[in-house]
Amino acid sequence: MNKRRGFIKRAGMASIAAISGLDVVFADNLPEGMSIVGLQDDLPWGKDSEMTLLNDLPWNIEAKAHLLDDAVTPADKFFVRNNGLVPENPDAATWSLRIEGESAENVKTYTIKELREKFNTYSYNLVIECGGNGRSEFNPPAKGNQWTIGAVACAKWTGVRLKDVLNDVGLKNDAVYIGYYGADIHLSKDPSKIVISRGVPISKALEDETLIAWEMNDQQIPILNGYPLRLVMGGWPGSVSGKWLNRIIIRNKVHDGEKMGGDSYRMPCDAVAPGAKVADEDMCIIESMPVKSLITSPKSGAMIDRGKSLKVSGHAWAGDYKVSEVHVSINFGSTWQNCSLDRPVNRLAWQRWTTQVSFPKTGYYEVWARAADEQGNAQPMVVPGWNPKGYLNNACHRIAVQVS
């Protein structure tokens, strides 16, 4: 961590309280993912100073749950997951996107201006969640960024439909997959090495909501999040939403680019015991992400007076599917109460849920939230299926509340 710049100053909870004068509420033993991270200097790139820096080479930055309360995640609270180095001085005016491949009828190159002029523009609110969000809780531990709960966001994305562009290029009958390439630079700085080149089956590529986007929240995309052009495919692991997009290839087989094979973004096809070795042929590519939710208000560590009820709210999402219900529990899952749940503003957007909670007596409480999707799948209360890289932890989120 922080091999280069050392942004995070390590400090014990007591000294944080002393330095900042903050009331650090029962901080010592908060549940996993709820602890208060050491003080850090302001993050660069305009990210909110409360975001957590996991790594600065490459940049990896996550949100805390209470930062994700907005229906549309603002740029300064949008997580960053980089596998390589940010391209130097990318420029929207000169950027181009090339489409080719063995299953393309033609090879075509478009500037961003040409994309805007030639095709209809669409905007959708789309959830991007890193496949490794929640990784920090697996045991045995998985290598990689130790994401807690904040590698997820739902912004408004604007661009053209990938399907309109693919149809303009022409798909051969044998087209089954697409793959992307971006302009980021391998950590080794070796120009022949590719940072990441993932893809999706043609069916996902041809969905209405699959965008080649140049705007996030009506602004140019922040450079860390892919300026000037990126793919956005809601509901699938974030790694399919290629940033700094400059090339797409149309494939007649499953795309075999960097991080499509091995343990990358793949899960054991059948569940395995924690720590098991899994043969390559027994690993399956992750597609739609599992149902999940966050409690975004109040912030964990809330202190309330006895007799007052507490408004609890957050978001829920379920990959390609809709969330059908959200429940909360204040007694460690013994009983659950139903929350009110909004419809998504469009397909693949997260859904707001809200409820009012009353606590029967004084003491320490946790509020747990549990979403279920329209297929009948609910979130597990503890960490689900272990896998080598620690993907798809969709266990219930919980916050601590002290009633006195």
Residues that bind ligand MTE (CB under 6 A): 78-84, 128, 130, 182, 184, 195-196, 225-226, 238-239, 241-244
- Least separation in angstroms between CB 325 and ligand MTE: 27
Phi and psi at residue 17, in whole multiples of 5°? Answer: -60, -40
Q: Which of ligand MTE, Mo ion, none does residue 241 bind (CB under 5 to 8 Å by kind)?
A: ligand MTE
Give the nearest distance from C-beta 393 to ligand MTE in angstroms.
14
232 or 403: whose CB is closer to ligand MTE?
A: 232
> Taking CB within 5 to 8 Å according to partner kind, which of ligand MTE, Mo ion, none is near residue 184?
ligand MTE
Q: Give the one entry of ligand MTE, Mo ion, none that residue 196 binds, where binding means its C-beta sits below a cut-off of 5 to 8 angstroms depending on kind.
A: ligand MTE
**75 contact, one of Mo ion, ligand MTE, none, CB 5-8 Å limit per kind:** none
In the complex, least distance from residue 55 CB atom to Mo ion, rounded to whole angstroms: 13
- The distance of closest approach from Cβ of residue 269 to ligand MTE in the complex, given in angstroms and rounded to an integer, is 21
**330 is a contact residue toward Mo ion (CB under 5 A):** no
Nearer to Mo ion, 130 or 245 (CB): 130
Instruction: Please tell me the distance from the alpha carbon of residue 86 to that of residue 183, in angstroms, as a whole number.
Output: 8
For residue 332, the minimal CB distance to ligand MTE (Å) is 31
Look at residue 79 and give the partner it binds from Mo ion, ligand MTE, none, a contact being a CB closer than 5 to 8 Å depending on partner kind.
ligand MTE
Least Cα distance to 341 among 320, 367, 368, 323 occurs for: 323
Closest CB 311 distance from Mo ion, rounded Å: 32
Minimum CB separation of residue 344 from Mo ion in Å reads 22
- Pick the binder of Mo ion from 30, 97, 130, 171 (CB under 5 A): 130
Contact status: 81 vs Mo ion (CB under 5 A): yes
Q: Which residues contact 179 (CB under 8 A, 6 or more apart)?
A: 101, 197, 198, 199, 248, 249, 251, 255, 257, 260
- Nearest 5°: CA angle at 224, between 93 and 287? 105
Interface residue with Mo ion among 234, 238, 257, 344 (CB under 5 A) is 238
* Whole-number Å distance between alpha carbons of 71 and 231: 21
Q: Which amino acid is at 280?
A: D
Stretch near Mo ion under the rule CB under 5 A, chosen from 73-81, 85-93, 115-123, 299-307: 73-81
The DSSP string of 181-231 is EE--B-TT--TTS-S---EEEHHHHTSTT-EEEEEETTEEPPGGGTTT-EE
Specify the residue for token string 């089956």: 201
Q: Find the shortest distance in angstroms from Cβ 141 to ligand MTE.
A: 19
Answer for the pair 181, 246: CB distance below 8 angstroms, yes or no.
yes
Q: How does DSSP assign 336-383, residue by residue?
A: -EE-EEPPPSSTT--EEEEEEE--SSSEEEEEEEEEEETTS-B--SS-
Print the binding letters for residues 239-258 with Mo ion: x by CB under 5 A, - otherwise: x-------------------
Contact status, residue 329 vs residue 373, Cβ threshold 8 Å: no
Pick the stretch among 34-42, 123-131, 296-304, 371-379 that binds Mo ion (CB under 5 A): 123-131
258/264 Cα distance (integer angstroms): 9
**Phi, psi torsion values for 74, nearest 5 degrees:** -70, 160
What gap in Å lies between CA 366 and CA 328, rounded to an integer? 10
Q: How many chain residues interact with Mo ion (CB under 5 A)?
A: 4
Contact between 121 and 158 (Cβ < 8 Å) = yes
State which residue, 103 or 239, has the beta carbon closest to Mo ion: 239
Give me the residues that bind Mo ion (CB under 5 A), please. 81, 130, 238-239
